[in-house]
Amino acid sequence: MLVGYARVSSSGQSLDIQNAALTDAGCEKLFAEKVSGRSTHNREELARAIDFVREGDTLVVTRLDRLARSVGDLHRIIEQLTEKKVAFQCIS
């Protein structure tokens, strides 16, 4: 299953473009939130997405900076996905 994750940094921004791109990419389930990406703390939808995915699934984002803002955070997220045998895809 393709599982999408979308994020914008503030409540005034729209998730519509990311959600549409993830749906067009074939994502069957979407997780989205409006929260700063400076760290993975307080990113409840990201935690829910990682908890939701199962072996053989793929977590999909529109851009890498929507998932992580630092190499350390990116590494930790990819490590969690790898432990669950979940793939990762960035569509742009």
Which residues are catalytically annotated?
9
Total length of the chain: 92
User: By the 8 A CB rule, do 50 and 58 touch?
Assistant: no
Query: Scanning the structure block, which residue is given the tokens 């529109």?
Result: 62
Q: Name the 3-class secondary structure at 17.
A: helix
Angle between helices 71-83 and 44-52 (to 10 degrees): 30
